[in-house]
Amino acid sequence: MHRLESNSPNSLIGLLEILEDIGKSTDIAKLDDSLDEERTMLMNLLDDAESLNLITIANGDVTLTETGKKFLDSSIPQRKKMLKGLVKDVEPFHSLINYFKSLGTTAVAKEDVGRYLSEIFPPGENDDTIRVVLNWGRYTKLFSYDSDVGLIVFQD
């Protein structure tokens, strides 16, 4: 199962909007030349967009899927709702949702979430994984974070 690497949905949405402006399949190398992103960041964005079924990549060409087109044609609230449904099937969200359900609660301390994630993902990447959870979780309204008490709240 794919694991989201992009720190926030904004970069991914920007990539989709560029693809929409181009209006047709485009070569990854041309896309790389036109973007002001590091190559690793671009590849992560492409992997994330493909895992969310927003684009397809074939023979080095990137194309928006029907889901990607529908996403771009949607209002901001509709986009958030669509992404909420899509991220549930990728990591770290898939495992984290199961973790909350196994505990039988909707609120877990950020430290406990961090410990859980460090058990299932590579060591040393915990801060990045938490950042992905908080940024994508807040945007999609799948999770919220109460920084005053340090609780991550699952909002299925």
The model's pTM: 0.88
The answer to whether residue 34 scores a pLDDT higher than 70 is no
User: So where are the chain's domains?
Assistant: 9-72, 91-154
Judge residue 136's burial from the number of C-beta atoms within 10 Å of its C-beta, 0-12 exposed, 13-18 middle, 19 or more buried: buried
Percent of the chain's residues with pLDDT above 70: 97
DSSP string, 16-58: HHHHHHH-S-EEHHHHHHHS-S-HHHHHHHHHHHHHTTSEEEE
What is the fold of 9-72? Arc Repressor Mutant, subunit A (1.10.10)
Q: Smallest Cα–Cα separation from 129: which of 144, 113, 145, 141?
A: 113
Quote the CA–CA distance of 84 and 42 in Å, as a whole number: 22
pLDDT tens per residue across span 93-105: 999 999 999 999 9
